[in-house]
Amino acid sequence: MGQYQPPLRDMQFVLHELLQVEDQLAGMPRHAETNRELIDQIIEEGGKFCAEVIFPLNQVGDNEGCQWNNGEVSTPTGFKEAYRQYCEAGWPSLTCDPDFGGQGLPQVVHNVLYEMLNSSNLSWTMYPGLSHGAYECIHAHGSDELKKDYLPKLVSGEWTGTMCLTEPHCGTDLGILRTKAEPGADGAYLITGTKIFISSGEHDMAENIVHLVLARLPDAPAGTKGISLFAVPKFIPNHDGTLGPRNAAVCGSIEHKMGIHGNSTCVMNFDSAQGWLLGQPHKGLQAMFVMMNAARLGVGMQGLGLTEIAYQNSLAYARERLQSRALTGAKAPDKVADPIIVHPDVRRMLLTQKAYAEAGRAFSYFVALELDRSLDHPDEAARKEADDVLTLLIPIIKAFLTDNAFDCTNLGMQILGGHGFISEWGMEQYVRDARIAQIYEGTNTIQSLDLLARKVLADQGARLKQFGRRIESFVIAHKDDPAMAEFIAPLADLAEKTQKLTMEIGMKGMQNPDEVGAAAVPFMKVAGHLVFAYFWARMARVALEKQDSGDDFYRAKLATARYYFSKLLPETAYWIRVARAGAEPLMALDADLF
């Protein structure tokens, strides 16, 4: 079954020592009273729920899966009861608007909670996770009447939500979706079509499910400019909060999948189901981006959560498993063999997991704090700057963290050896669960194209330069500190190389757009490491200042930073070379010669 302990010490290091969240929030009137003591209390209680309530259900969910029967779906044993406890404790309302029953806490606190939830039980966490995205979308684009009818129930957790985009013939290319929306009575629309791969589309954990559905109005122009967004509930609510009749939104089947067995992945059939318009006609994709960006950040947090749980269980096994002697002589002479943690390559795998988990934590908490700034900072220029940073970093956090998660769960299986391949130890489930995160919410290739083409080249690198100025400022501030040289020099070097690579790809792309497609994934890898190097250098600075405190935590942080810069960052040389190799090796072979 394995084990999970919330990494509270490192979470608190990132929040309070690295990001100084309390000081940052003090500048936002809405969150000015959110202090360190409150934040720590929340994450400690959240950690207990994760470790004690939903982590023990993780393998149960994987083994049992969900069961479909005549349009109804039952979730694995214990899922419904755990969700009831989650709602009774008020967790769904954590960051929601107090006007609708929420607690109004900052997004960064929500992000910390979701790291722990994802480590503990990814399949279970998808039910409330998607619901929060639906809440945010309706809050941003719903009419006053829709907000009144829907938001209090989503905030309390009594209702859950989904996002319905994909159809059998289209996934990423939403411009060709076929689901129709015909005007009906009393301001409603009649939604007809089939959506597939709908996570949490049908289940028994909540009394109602609100589907956010993309569809076309009769006068819709072709392509993505003709898509509208609708709220389509499983049960049509009355204005007094009670549930009315069953809507014509039915789960036709559930998918049998490689991983995330505890989450119901549904085929949803809408047969003139009643729905209500969210936002403006033909502007549905823009409205849905509120939920899609939240989902992409959420998937990045899934990657972080799985990286952390893989590391914890790999480390526990490596400390206990006795196998062979250390190359430099016995380290446990009183035992028949040494624990495998003495072996250099086992340490390589453990340190890779540790370095990626800790950098991913710093990066994702920073992004959540920027989300708070974009929403709640009193200065418009600060909100705009934060929004630009988010626009740049969201595809990186989705793709880079989930790529790392698949690598790190695989490393965990390698560390456990044969036991890693056996289901009772739990590691092979993490590998299977991690694989989907590279695919859904926009494949990592799509995220890479989005980053390079839309977020970097489309504005001539303005957003990238803006983030680069933060790196440059940090480099200038510490370039004369000999203790920081081993971190500052490679960071500055990669920043310069990334700028040159961006210009080179941009020039080639103007001549041949395939050059951008060929370079996108390598560029994503380089950009991800640039961000990680920046945060590892910042964490190293804090650790250097406190290394004489007697706290071994800072010694470990410095050792991990040195491992990252010496053993992981150098792969950027490979990715830069691949990016520069261009489109010709990929496009030279005629399709019929493959």
Which residues in the chain show pLDDT less than 70? Answer: none
Please give the pLDDT value at position 306.
98
Contact by Cβ (8 Å): 264, 201? yes
For residue 259, give the amino acid letter: G
For position 515, what pLDDT does the model report? 98
Q: What's residue 200's pLDDT?
A: 98
Rounded Cα gap, residues 120 and 40, in angstroms: 19
Give domain limits for the chain: 453-586
Question: Where do the H-state alpha helices sit in 417-461?
Answer: 427-437, 444-449
Structure tokens at 370: 């920027």
Give φ, ψ of 549 to 5 degrees: -75, -15
Q: Which residue has the tokens 């929420």?
A: 102
Per the CB < 8 A criterion, the answer to whether 130 and 200 are in contact is: yes
Query: HEC states along 183-231?
Result: ECCCCCEEEEEEEEEEECCCCCCCCEEEEEEEEECCCCCCHHHHEEEEE
pLDDT, one tens digit per residue, over 358-367 is: 999 999 999 9
Catalytic residue among 44, 441, 472, 496: 441
SS3 label, residue 68: strand
In the Cβ-directed half-sphere of 460, how many Cα atoms lie within 13 Å? 0
Q: Distance between CA atoms of 323 and 311, rounded to whole angstroms?
A: 19
Largest Cα separation within the chain, whole Å, is: 81
Half-sphere exposure at residue 3, Cβ-oriented, CA atoms within 13 angstroms: 9
As a dihedral over the C-alpha atoms of residue 559, residue 561, residue 563, residue 564, rounded to 10 degrees, the angle is 170
Interatomic CA distance for residues 230 and 143, integer angstroms: 12
Pairing of strands 159-164, 208-215: parallel
How many other C-beta atoms can be found within 10 angstroms of the C-beta atom of residue 514?
15
In order of 26, 41, 75, 312, the CA distances from 306 in angstroms are 32, 24, 22, 10
Q: Would you call 441 a catalytic residue per the annotation?
A: yes
Q: What is the pLDDT of residue 285?
A: 87
When computed from its CA atoms, the radius of gyration of the chain, rounded to whole angstroms, is 24
- Distance between CA 173 and CA 206 in Å, rounded? 32
**pLDDT recorded at residue 555:** 97
- Check if the beta carbon of residue 227 is closer than 8 Å to that of residue 284: yes
Q: Which residues pair with 181 in a beta bridge?
A: 191
Quick: pLDDT tens for 380-430. 999 999 999 999 999 999 999 999 999 999 999 999 999 999 999 999 999
pLDDT in tens, 436-463: 999 999 999 999 999 999 999 999 999 9
For residue 210, give the nearest of 224, 200, 222, 218 by alpha carbon. Answer: 200
- Supply the pLDDT for residue 241: 84
Task: Tell which residue, 472, 435, 450, has the closest CA to residue 524.
Answer: 450
Give CA angle at 368 (362, 373), nearest 5°: 120
* Token code pair at residue 456: 């970097």
DSSP string, 89-152: TTGGGTTS-GGGT-----HHHHHHHHHHHHHH-HHHHHHHHHHHHHHHHHHHH--HHHHHHHHH
Q: What whole-number distance in Å separates Cα of residue 4 and Cα of residue 360?
A: 18
pLDDT in the model for residue 294: 81
- The span from the CA of 139 to the CA of 151, in Å, is 7
Distance CA 126, CA 401 (A): 17
* Enclosing H/E stretch for 520: helix 514-546
Torsion of CA 27, 31, 37, 40, to 10 degrees: -110
Helix (H/G/I), strand (E/B), else coil: 442: coil
Predicted pLDDT of residue 171: 82
What is residue 185's predicted lDDT score, i.e. its pLDDT? 86
Residue 169 structure tokens: 């013939």
- 160 forms beta bridges with 209
pLDDT in tens, 149-178: 999 999 999 999 999 999 999 888 888 999
Instruction: Quote the pLDDT of residue 290.
Output: 76
Beta strands in 255-318 (DSSP E): 265-278
Contact 528, 399 (CB under 8 A): yes
Task: Tell me how far apart the alpha carbons of residues 185 and 193 are, in angstroms, rounded to a whole number.
Answer: 19
Q: Are 569 and 525 in contact (CB under 8 A)?
A: no
